[in-house]
Chain A
């Protein structure tokens, strides 16, 4: 049985039907005029041979082509793209069914942060009362390593609300090179979680090694297609409207292999896209559809996700501001556009501007966590543990996020109001009114012990102190001490034999009897 996710009964939508159609028409016009610029020859040829108007752009620094994509080509691609995409998992019970026509949300971690945030308790003495000592959490960022990625996957395996693992940490060990990065990031992830693993590729050269690794783990050819334990994120578009050469080639090659892929586009409102909602949504929609069209031209039926990561620019430094309410507005609009096309949507929430866990990070991330979840994207990259605009991963924050998402999932359970419930309720009210105390407490217990009531916030303190971070830190350590079902020894041995470049220290069986 695949994971259940949470079905949003009545998704929140910002745009009217007419506004959705206006955005669609605007996107179609954008794809035709000005069209997209492709720095990838093969993409230009694919569009050209399918009827698009393709012209070399002579005055650019690099060789590139202007592509005017006709509407019918896009509509054909939308038609042929699967409406249901399966993301498999080592443990089949952790697989996900993403149905573009059903607003069932699955929560995934992400993204690829350069820094890992260590959490340390320091003890301070109160100046006015030296007998009083207090512990203060301090945070120290450092470059991420393969060990950190293993830890992140391990932690995410045990986060109840988390459905899939998008590799959280950019591995930067001294012995990690461009050529061995992909195999190490996928192995570190796959070996430490039985949930679905999604990541981007550093180099196309490693695609076949990564696919081969997945085949060794789950089975070759159709077995992997039936249970795709890995999928890929490709950022082929540099906004506005440009196909980057290498990532476009990566998208083409993944499409050829028929594995699930996200066409992820991340324009910044105010710099690489218009800041107005209508402008950025029309542009990003055009950019995503251009990518999806390419997947279908290369290999009709490629399982593809409509990947929207729009963000507004901060005005003080022009960094991404995921915490801005406009970013959530853009994301929610994109979810609505994907639903209009009946394509499974990869959306974004929970990224915050705050640099450390605390009040700011909780407020910022919860705002988008709730709002974007309510819009009903099928696959929500919701930034478990991410801080500082995707720059930092902090396991403690991931544990806090898990608590938040458990609350959100609980909130989204459908109301139990039906023909069986109403008579029971009337009976209960009449019974209670006949007692002297007039309390309903005795009717709570079956629900209480049957897990039907939401749990209290797991990190609350008894007194006047705020111990949320300390308690979450303790919980993090507890989760990391739980075992993980690693890939078995024989399969691990085959992976290390057949796949070059995996660091020997990632072989947990090495040296064991």
Chain B
């Protein structure tokens, strides 16, 4: 029973099925329990948290990652699985907190003032949640003041800034300056990304890292965490 639930949980992560009415990839999955229902069932069955996370969610994501690397899976598959894991983590978080287990880190993400583009930013947010980060998504066209305020109050480990346009990417530099003025720059790692942004630009404005895409962002975060 114990093993069955975990095996099903892992399989549903691989299928990218968050809830029972998600269709997944294989035929006849519709209506069967998804990651959310199986996570709840696992908790009710008193399966240890670390087993749910390691053998169900993480091992499932490992398979998804391997399939992505071998081009059997594509970005929509990664996102579906990450989203499903993110939903599971929302259910597990109170239990983890009660057990004194920390998340991988707190992450604020925003598209800067004047820019309304958010597809890339949303994808990054999904991947981060799926990878066990606590994400606060401020949305689009976010004023610098609001970002600084959240960094001060929520105390995130990471700040991700997105901009598509060359005219709005300069705001990223202004945000970094504002963090400095408020004595917050050394409290948070700033990651920047978006179509117009480059490695050179990131260095120029004093960001901690440039992220080419969501997957690159995960690699960068892993390095930060390893070095922390």
Contacts and interface: CB of A to CB of B under 8 A. Distances in A.
Contacts of B83: 442
Nearest to A446: B23
Contacts of B77: 445, 448
A444 B76 contact: yes
B157 interface: no
A446 B25 contact: yes
B23 A441 contact: no
B228 interface: no
A21 B77 CA distance: 55
Most chain A beta-carbon contacts within 10 A, residue among B76, B83, B122, B126: B76
B115 interface: no
Interface residues of A, number: 11
A420 to B, nearest CB: 16
Interface in B109-123: 119, 122-123
B22 interface: yes
A448 B122 contact: no
Interface string A432-451: 00001111011011101100
B119 A445 contact: no
Contacts, number: 34
A307 B224 CA distance: 69
B68 interface: no
Contact of A445 (B76, B122, B125, B137): B76
Contacts of A442: 16, 22, 76, 79-80, 83
Interface string B49-84: 000000000000000000000000011110110010
B16 A445 contact: yes
A445 B126 contact: no
A436 B122 CA distance: 9
B90 to A, nearest CB: 13
A469 B212 CA distance: 28
Contact of B126 (A437, A438, A448, A449): A437
Contacts of A438: 122
Contacts of B75: 441
A438 B79 CA distance: 13
B29 to A, nearest CB: 10
A444 B76 CA distance: 7
Contacts of B125: 437
B142 to A, nearest CB: 15
Interface string A415-441: 000000000000000000000111101
Contacts of B126: 437
A437 B122 contact: yes
Contacts of B123: 439, 441
Contacts of B25: 445-446, 449
B145 to A, nearest CB: 23
Interface in B73-108: 74-77, 79-80, 83
Given A437-B122, A439-B119, A442-B22, A448 B79 contact: no
Interface string A370-382: 0000000000000
Nearest to B84: A442
Interface in A31-71: none
A446 to B, nearest CB: 6
Nearest to A450: B25
Interface string B163-175: 0000000000000
Contacts of A448: 74, 76-77
B57 to A, nearest CB: 18
A131 B228 CA distance: 39
The 9 closest A-B pairs by CB, nearest first: A437-B122, A444-B76, A441-B76, A449-B25, A445-B76, A442-B80, A441-B79, A446-B23, A445-B25
Given A437-B126, A441-B75, 16 more contacts: A436-B137, A437-B122, A439-B79, A439-B122, A439-B123, A441-B79, A441-B80, A441-B123, A442-B22, A442-B76, A444-B76, A445-B23, A445-B25, A448-B74, A448-B76, A449-B25
16 contacts: A436-B137, A437-B122, A437-B125, A437-B126, A439-B79, A439-B122, A441-B76, A441-B79, A441-B80, A442-B80, A445-B24, A445-B25, A445-B77, A446-B25, A448-B74, A448-B77
Interface of A: 436-439, 441-442, 444-446, 448-449
